Amino acid sequence: MSAATRAAIGLGGNVGDVEAAFRFALERLSTDPHTTHATLSPLYATAPWGGIDQPRFLNAVAVIETTQPAQELMQQLLEIERAAGRDRANETRWGPRRLDLDLLLHGESVIDSDGLQLPHPRLAERAFALVPLLDVWPDAVIPGDGPARQALERLTQEDVAAVIAGRVG
C-alpha cells in the first residue's frame, strides 16, 4: 500500500438538511478503505458566491489522510455528491445545492487537467474555504502560492470577519 497523503476537501451546501449531507459525506469518506483519518472543521454560514440570489451557504473543510491518487479521490467525491442527490448536469453554476465537494489540496499535488485542478484554482481567494481549512490544517501550504495563512492575510478583513462571524456552534 502506498503512503498516505493529506488532502483537504471543501464542503458546501444551502438546500435542505445541509448538516445531514455533510455527515453523509464524512461518513462515506471515513469508512473508505483508502482513508485512515478524517477531521471536519467547524461549520460556517456564509454569503453565496457567484452573484446568484439564493440562501446562505454552510461551509466546512474535511482533512483526510488517503492513499488514493487525486484523480480517484475526485471521482469518489463526485460519486458521494450523486449519492446525496446532486445532479451537476441540471443545476446552475454557483447556484443552490445540497452538497458541493471540492478537492482543495492533495498533498503537494499540482494538477491541471479536465475535471481536476489542484490546488483548487480559487482557494487562495476564498475566505470561506481558507478559514475552515486553517481550523483543521493550521500549517497548510498551497502549492505555488505558499502558506494558506498568508493567503488568508491577503484577503480583506471584511471578507474574513464575515466568515468568522458566521461560525455555527
Annotated active-site residue in 28, 98, 100, 126? 100
pLDDT confidence of residue 57: 93
Identify whether 32 is a catalytic site residue: no
Fold of 5-168: Alpha-Beta Plaits (3.30.70)
Annotated active-site residue in 6, 32, 102, 167? 102
Q: Is the pLDDT of residue 3 over 70?
A: yes
Identify whether 112 is a catalytic site residue: no
Contact 85, 96 (CB under 8 A): no
Mean pLDDT of 105-122: 95
Identify whether 82 is a catalytic site residue: no
What's the pLDDT tens digit per position in 22-34?
A: 999 999 999 999 9
Annotated active-site residue in 28, 53, 93, 97? 97
pLDDT confidence of residue 165: 93
Contact 13, 57 (CB under 8 A): yes
The verdict on whether omega for the bond into residue 119 sits within 30 degrees of 0, i.e. cis, is: yes
Q: Is the pLDDT of residue 141 over 90?
A: yes
Identify whether 139 is a catalytic site residue: no
Question: Mean pLDDT, the chain, as a whole number?
Answer: 93
